[in-house]
Amino acid sequence: MTQFTDLGLAEQLLKALASEGYTTPTPIQAQAIPSILQGRDLLGAAQTGTGKTAAFALPLIQRLLSQPRRMETRSVRALILSPTRELAAQIETSIRAYAQFTTIKSTVVFGGVPVGKQIRALGQHVDILVATPGRLLDLVDQRAVSLREIEYLVLDEADQMLDLGFVHALRRIATLIPKKRQTLLFSATMPKPIREIASAYLTDPVEVSVAPVATTAEKIDQRVVFTQPGEKPALLAKTLSTPEMERAIVFTRTKHGADKVVRQLEISGIKSAAIHGNKSQGQRERALGAFRDGELRILVATDIAARGIDVDGISHVVQFDLPNVAETYVHRIGRTARAGASGIAIAFCTPEERGDLAAIEKLTRVAITPMGEVPYWDGRTPKKPPQNQGRGGRGQQGGGGRDQGRPQGERSGRPQAKPAGGGQRSDAPRNDAPRNDRPQRSEAQSPRKDGGAAKEGLGGVAFLQQRTQQPRTNGARRRAN
């Protein structure tokens, strides 16, 4: 088995890794570190949680150590771009840990906080700058930082940067840094736009790939509960009240929806906090800190938290709303079953979300198991028109009367398609948002009122109450971040 000592890393880095309890590199680290140490550009396909921060941070620190040089005031040698504040902060924390026995200095800048402290930090000696694109350009415009001496550029979570509308910011940053540099690009998915960016930014790159996005962790027990939109709040409260729910992230599609879920849980006596783009940086840090420290058991989040938040001991991921993009489902459930532990992923699916579920199953090639028995609708099989049953019956061509097998008082018929437009606001930012690192609210489809559907109850939660969970491996060896 490969060890960190086999990768040609400096003694200071090996000492730092040992102090952090890391001995065995992950696949992405074993593949990427030697090539980066050789000075090659690199294109890495890896999901969050695979250890890619160490895969680029360790060789980057070593190359900076091996080639010391004097820098102009407010210049930096290495730039790491991240799509979110939380991920940027986490990367810089990891770099500090890896560089603790060296002279390499780092700092992080992102939006949502006063800029003065960041300007003062950049006025001192900084080797590695971790930044979100919008705040970085703000600082460039204020002449608080210069990118003219950049030797190393890292684009982390490149696909999410495109999703968040940072493409124009990336293009401008590319014009501000030297063409002669070493560039590393990491992305969980490799769609055509990412390939185009790679061809523009990278020169003869080495390609490494681990854990394709369509692969979900084997230790994640995936389940789906078929329900109606109006039943989700009660279903969620009952799900989170089960004894097995040690620590859970609940994902919603919109910022408004996340805040609403927190209020509904509070009514049910369940303490939680929301984290999304409209929260101040202080609010986000306090909520995440309380969740990480165990003071808060439930965190409600939009997809801003789907990548980059590395919290140990998350037993469950609950998808209150299924995502519109199938790959996002994989990133969400990747918050659990980390470092060798097991985890449970539960998705709520309404009739309107059946298409999203089908896309997820097609991508992952996994048929997600329904929780409990749903007598009225199993979520997959199209409802068959009832046969004529004598007087007042109804055949395929319509007619009055009640459908056989349904309780008296329920209407027949399928829910009508929801007209386009309107609905809740989404958590996606506008294309010019990078200037402030703040997403803009846009319109997203809201749950449709289904006046004619029969209710299915909360029986799906029985799975959680009956299931004997496998012991979690709390003492498993942690992976380098």
pLDDT digits (tens, 9 = 90+) for 338-385: 655 678 999 999 999 999 999 999 888 888 989 854 433 444 444 443
275 or 305, which is more confident: 275
pTM (two decimals): 0.61
Read off the pLDDT of each residue in 39-65 and give the average, rounded to a whole number. 91
Which residues, in sequence order, are CB contacts of 172 under 8 Å at separation 6+?
A: 137
Point out which residues pair with 14 in neighbouring strands.
Answer: none
Read off the pLDDT of each residue in 43-50 and give the average, rounded to a whole number. 80
178 or 190, which is more confident: 178
What's the CA angle centered on 443, arms 230 and 236, to 5 degrees? 25
d(CA 350, CA 225): 9
Q: List pLDDT tens digits, range 309-319.
A: 677 788 899 99
Confidence of residue 211 (pLDDT cuts 50, 70, 90): low
* % of the chain residues with pLDDT over 70: 73
Confidence of residue 179 (pLDDT cuts 50, 70, 90): very high
Q: Could you tell me the domains of the chain?
A: 4-209 (3.40.50.300), 220-381+421-466 (3.40.50.300)
Read off the pLDDT of each residue in 145-162 and give the average, rounded to a whole number. 93
Residue 362: the pLDDT is: 87
Return the minimum-mean-pLDDT range out of 94-98, 116-120, 154-158, 429-433: 429-433
CB 186 within 8 A of CB 155: yes
Residue 43: the pLDDT is: 96
d(CA 349, CA 406): 22
269 or 332, which is more confident: 269
d(CA 327, CA 78): 30
Query: Whose CA is closest to 81, among 196, 151, 165, 170?
Result: 170
Query: Is 155 strand, coil or helix?
Result: strand
Residue 161 backbone dihedrals phi, psi, to 5 degrees = -65, -35
d(CA 317, CA 303): 12
Residue 306: the pLDDT is: 59
Residue 216: the pLDDT is: 54
Which residues, in sequence order, are CB contacts of 372 under 8 Å at separation 6+?
A: 225, 459, 460, 461, 462, 463
